[in-house]
Structure 1
Amino acid sequence: MKFTTYVKETLLPTPPTEFGHDHGVGHWKMLGNDTVGDCVIAGGLHETMLWSHYGSATAPTDKAAAIANYSAITGYDPDDPSTDKGTDVADAASYRRHTGLVDADGAHHRIVAYLALTPGDVGQHLQALYLFGAVGIGLEFPDSAMTQFHNHQPWDVVPGAKIEGGHYVSAVARRDDRFVVVTWGREQPMTDAFFQKYNDESYVYVSSEYLKDGHDPEGFDLAQLQADLAKLRAV
Structure 2
Amino acid sequence: MENITGQVKGGKPKAIKDPRSFKISDYLAIHQLQIPDAHDWTAAKKNKWDVFGNNRLYNCTCAAAGHMIECWTANASSAFEITEEAIVNTYITLSNYDPITKQNDDGVYMLDALKYWRKNGIEQHRIRVFATVPHDRREIVKASIYLFGGIYVGLQLPNSILKQKIWEVNPGELTGDNEPWSWGGHAVAILAYDKQHLTCIHLGKEQKMTWDFWETYNDEAYAIITQDFMEGDKNPLGFNLEAMERDLMELTQAKIRLTNRLAQEKSEKY
TM > 0.5 between the two?
A: yes
Matched, 1:20 2:43: no
**CA–CA separation in structure 2 for the residues paired with 1:33 and 1:191:** 23
Select which of 132, 139, 142 maps to 1:116.
132
Select which of 54, 58, 62 maps to 2:83.
62
**CA–CA separation in structure 1 for the residues paired with 2:139 and 2:102:** 40
Pairing of 1:206-225 with structure 2 (within 5 A): 206-215=225-234, 217=239, 221-225=244-248
Select which of 163, 174, 194 maps to 2:213.
194
The Cα offsets for residues 179-211 of structure 1, whole Å up to 9 and x where unpaired, read as 011110010011011001100111111111212
The Cα offsets for residues 126-182 of structure 1, whole Å up to 9 and x where unpaired, read as 11001001101111111111332xxxx110012442422211111101135210111
CA distance 1:85–1:196, shift in 2 (3 Å): same
**CA–CA separation in structure 1 for the residues paired with 2:137 and 2:128:** 24
Q: 2:65 maps to which residue?
A: 44
Q: Shift of residue 61 of structure 1?
A: 2.0
Opposite residue 123 of structure 1, the aligned amino acid is E
Aligned residue-pair number: 222
**CA–CA separation in structure 1 for the residues paired with 2:149 and 2:69:** 10
Q: 2:26 maps to which residue?
A: 5
Could you tell which deviates more after superposition, 125-134 or 158-167? 158-167
**CA–CA separation in structure 2 for the residues paired with 1:63 and 1:230:** 37
Matched, 1:81 2:93: no
Q: Any conservation in 1 of the 2:30–2:139 contact (CA below 8 Å)?
A: no
Q: Any conservation in 1 of the 2:41–2:150 contact (CA below 8 Å)?
A: no
The Cα offsets for residues 71-92 of structure 1, whole Å up to 9 and x where unpaired, read as 1222222123330111100111
- TM-score (normalised: structure 1): 0.87
Q: Any conservation in 2 of the 1:131–1:218 contact (CA below 8 Å)?
A: no
Opposite residue 211 of structure 2, the aligned amino acid is D
Q: Any conservation in 2 of the 1:12–1:218 contact (CA below 8 Å)?
A: no
Aligned partner of residue 189 in structure 1, secondary structure: strand
Q: Any conservation in 2 of the 1:18–1:173 contact (CA below 8 Å)?
A: yes
Q: Any conservation in 1 of the 2:233–2:240 contact (CA below 8 Å)?
A: no
**CA–CA separation in structure 2 for the residues paired with 1:218 and 1:7:** 14
- Please list every run of 5 or more consecutive structure 1 residues that lacks an aligned counterpart in the other structure: 103-107
Opposite residue 88 of structure 2, the aligned amino acid is I
Matched, 1:29 2:50: yes
**CA–CA separation in structure 2 for the residues paired with 1:65 and 1:197:** 33
Identity of aligned residues (%): 25
CA distance 1:51–1:229, shift in 2 (3 Å): farther
Aligned partner of residue 229 in structure 2, secondary structure: coil
Select which of 100, 107, 112 maps to 2:121.
100
Q: 2:196 maps to which residue?
A: 177
Larger radius of gyration: 2
Q: Any conservation in 2 of the 1:17–1:177 contact (CA below 8 Å)?
A: no
